Amino acid sequence: MVVARKWIYAKPFEGLPNDGNFRLEEETLPEPGENEFVAEAEFLSVDPYMRPYMASYPAGSVMIGGQVAKVTASRHAQFPVGAYVFGNFGWRTHTLVKPDGVVGGQRADDKPYVLPAFGSHPRSLGLGVLGMPGNTAYFGLLELCQPKEGETVVVSGAAGAVGSVVGQIAKIKGCRVVGVAGTDDKCAWLRTLGFDATINYRTVGPDGFGGALKEAAPKGVDCYFDNVGGYISEAVTGQMNLYGRIAVCGTISNYSEAPVRVRDPQREFVFKQLRQEGFIVTRWRQRWMEGIEQNLRWIEEGKLRYQETVTDGFERMPHAFVSMLTGGNTGKAVVKV
């Protein structure tokens, strides 16, 4: 018998989440049945999408999320004891997994998978550069922005899990890369990764952002990978070049706050013949391992670097989540159980 701890979405979010939104509970798991296994979480992910997505779950649900977990008991041939898996099991220390069925709010095609070998790199990368955020950067940038050598690529949320990978892939493709992030330390780290220019949006503010962007991208912007929305995206859209491409990945500036009013961008879209497309990374579910394998190759070749902000202790999940939403992380935010 295994006693699992799980974080419950106790009260709907309003504004920035706080301790009152969460409750820690325990649950005793039964032994796995035929084609089931028990997974013990090693690392859990805290991601921005949890903030807007929880709105579609009733209070009392287990918080949603991905984890890297070890199979500790199994009656499923594809998930033997000792294997490490990625699964969207939620904020739980232990999970009875029925990989062939639909669990909770999980989609039928949202199946756990055994982690590929990461060489000398930590398994937690399966939540970051070698998992969903890395694939978001890989497919979102290459498929939607299609950056060409010599073009200028701007990425907002640049020092985070997705943004830091986007900028480095754009460098691999021979682009000039401008990163937008919220602290001087993050900007300095991005420049060590090869970003050509950075803007600390908090110090320049909404009024200074357009001027700072003109300096950082003097030839205009060909590709914009948008993680944040709001005034940053308004300003970048205003400085796009003819036939510019915008991949809309996220709008974190309005996940916990009301969206700010921005200027109508339609004129820019017409006269500069821009293309903008939103996406969810699971669009490329069928090519999932391609993204992971390519990002791993680039890591092995020294072309792609990663950083993680690791919070110790399952009991600190809410803290890690709120800290990530407010910029406390550099690179991928994960929790070690």
List residues near ligand NAP by CB under 6 A: 47-49, 133, 136, 157, 159-163, 181-183, 186, 227-228, 249-250, 252-253, 279-281, 324, 327, 329, 333
Query: Who's near 51: CB < 8 A, 6+ residues apart?
Result: 13, 17, 255, 256, 325
CB of 277 to ligand NAP, least distance (A): 11
Tell me how far apart the alpha carbons of residues 329 and 320 are, in angstroms, rounded to a whole number.
Answer: 9
Select 74 or 198, whichever has its Cβ closest to ligand NAP. Answer: 198
The count of other CB atoms within 10 Å of the CB of residue 103 is: 16
- For residues 135 and 284, the answer to whether their CB atoms sit within 8 Å is yes
Select 32 or 134, whichever has its Cβ closest to ligand NAP. Answer: 134
Select 49 or 269, whichever has its Cβ closest to ligand NAP. Answer: 49
Select 89 or 209, whichever has its Cβ closest to ligand NAP. Answer: 209
CB of 170 to ligand NAP, least distance (A): 15
CB of 329 to ligand NAP, least distance (A): 5
Buried b (16+ CB within 10 A) or exposed e, 16-39: ebeeebbeeeeeeeeebeebbbbb
CB of 30 to ligand NAP, least distance (A): 34
The count of other CB atoms within 10 Å of the CB of residue 305 is: 16
CA nearest neighbour of 15 among 325, 327, 335: 325
Select 31 or 184, whichever has its Cβ closest to ligand NAP. Answer: 184
Residue 103 Cα distances to 26, 74, 194, 222, angstroms: 18, 17, 42, 42
CB of 2 to ligand NAP, least distance (A): 30
